[in-house]
Amino acid sequence: MWLKARAVEIFNEPGCAKNRAKSEKVRKQGCSKQVSPGAAAGGCAFDGARIALQPIVDVAHLVHGPIACEGNSWDNRHAASSGPTLYRTAFTTDINELDVIYGGERRLFRSLREIIEKYDPPAVFVYQTCVTALIGDDIDAVCKHASETFGKAIIPVNAPGFAGSKNFGNKLGGEAILDYVIGTREPAYKTPFDINLIGEYNLSGELWQIKPLFEALGIRILSCISGDARYSEIASAHRAKVNMVVCSKSMINVATKMQQRYGIPYFEGSFYGIGDMSDALRGAARLLVQQGAPDELVVRTEHLVKAEEARAWARIAPYRTRLDGKRVLLITGGVKSWSVLAALQETGLEIVGTSVKKSTDGDKERIKEIMGDDTRMVDNLTAREMYNMLRDAKADIMLSGGRSQFVALKARMPWLDVNQERCHAYAGYEGIVELVHEIDRAIHNPVWQQVRIPAPWDDEGEAPLERIIQFSGRIKRTPPREDGQDCERRLRAGASA
Ligand code: SF4
């Protein structure tokens, strides 16, 4: 019942434009869509809660369920830490058949005791999963009892996989910190320049690309929810003057509830692209001034923006001639579909298509503003359509998440990961330079010339020796081995025999 009530509350979230646009009846049905057979699906609600909370680096994250739930969600996003590494240790109660019959609450309690005795973390987050929710384990009660027994903050995260989509799980993760963490501690000191970042997960260290910019303005990131976060920072987040919502679809509920409970205003922004990074700095400065910070903050922000933009453009300039006229197919979702798009257009790349599958009406409006029309918006590109588009050379590179990488590789086209599993950090001024550098490296990688050479097979499926020799002659290779065993020599020896 609790979950149902929470779901209704989240579906009525006033900060979510997509939900607001729905009729009451449609809103009640939630955001999950039926997955069509054969299609790749996103994570479950539990996975979403883990994504939202696992970047809190100094706490233990304990998954109450079968071991595969932990394995499924462990460290799935390269969220980086500047210090503690406890968040990367996979803790699970690993329930078995007997627990399913008799209940897993005792096992959960014992696991909590073991973690606290061995690691003494400032807090433990306990994640509910499908099986333990279905057998009726009351993790709230166990966490409360353990918290009183051990004198530790033990936070139940009620987001079993069946509750809904990954995005819904992000929000349930947000509800857990709203209910049990935010507002439970006071910061060591307060300043008129304190902000929180909500929905920034420090993937591949992106937070460290933007933190120095805020620091240069004297703006303190009191807490980042939840990238590279410490428990005490999140617990004292209620003392910030302003909230910035970085990924609006993931934890907008945290921002709206903090506004209601603590009177903290929020704005939405993105760190991708030169223009958006500048707007984020300006937005933070403007709201801080409204909250009582000195007016000169706005002037200092403009100076910093001007200097940083000039520096970024100077570093991008050498790539512009190499990338001029190159066409990009962008398959990503939500806020990234316009923020990455803006970043790419800034560098002179042509966008042949962008997916809007997970975008809100607001996101689509932004895309239209950036591209001038909506003809290149694709709602739901199937793998085959993607493949055809790439094979017909309508694009020079595809930017997407890992799930569609094999479509690009099959079409022998360069591909770059811009989703959560990416290995490079693309935020801020530094990040856009890195993104352009990686696109350049991917497009001009010599491997593409080699893999596009037609195979030597003829129409009957035969491969005449002469054509194999010709073919192999066009492949760049390492120098012949001294022992004369390299493939081409053996082929030639065979041909003259
Ligand atoms: S759907 Fe359920 S069983 Fe599967 S990973 Fe998510 S929580 Fe675990």
Best mutation site among 126, 129, 172 for ligand 1 pocket (most ligand atoms within 8 Å of CB): 129
pLDDT of residue 487: 46
User: Does 42-180 carry CATH code 1.10.10.10?
Assistant: no
Of 339, 370, 368, 203, which is closest to residue 274 (Cα–Cα)? 339
**Cα separations (Å) of 321 from 279, 316, 340, 350, 449?**
27, 10, 20, 13, 20
Cα 68 to middle of ligand 1, angstroms: 8
- Ligand 1 centroid distance, CA of 46 (Å): 7
pLDDT tens-digit series, residues 308-332:
999 999 999 999 889 988 999 888 7
CA 70 to ligand 1 center in whole angstroms: 9
What would the pLDDT profile of 334-372 be if each residue is shown by its tens digit?
A: 556 666 777 788 778 888 888 776 666 666 777 777 777
Residue nearest to atom 1 of ligand 1 (CA): 161
Q: What is 325-421's CATH topology?
A: Rossmann fold (3.40.50)
Domain ranges within the chain, ordered by starting residue: 42-180, 194-312, 325-421, 465-496
Tell me the C-alpha distance between 224 and 237, whole Å: 9
* Tokens representing residue 292 in the block: 């009582």
Residues with CB under 6 A from ligand 1: 44, 46-47, 65, 69, 72, 129-130, 160-161
Whether 476 has a pLDDT exceeding 80, the answer reads: no
Q: Which residue has the tokens 């010599």?
A: 446
Q: Give yes or no for residue 230 having a pLDDT over 50.
A: yes
- Ligand 1: nearest atom to the Cα of 131: 3
Q: What are the tens digits of pLDDT across the range 147-201?
A: 999 999 999 999 999 998 888 999 999 999 999 999 999 999 999 999 999 999 9
Pocket test for ligand 1, best of 61, 67, 69, 92 (most atoms within 8 A of CB): 69
Q: Which of 3, 46, 162 to mutate to test the pocket of ligand 1 (most atoms within 8 A of CB)?
A: 46
Among protein residues, the one whose CA lies closest to atom 6 of ligand 1 = 161
Q: Do domains 42-180 and 325-421 have the same CATH topology?
A: yes
Of the options 1.25.60.10, 3.40.50.970, 3.40.50.12380, 3.40.50.150, the CATH number for the domain spanning 194-312: 3.40.50.12380
Other C-beta atoms lying within 10 Å of the C-beta of residue 354: 27
> Residue 51 CA to chain centroid, in angstroms?
8
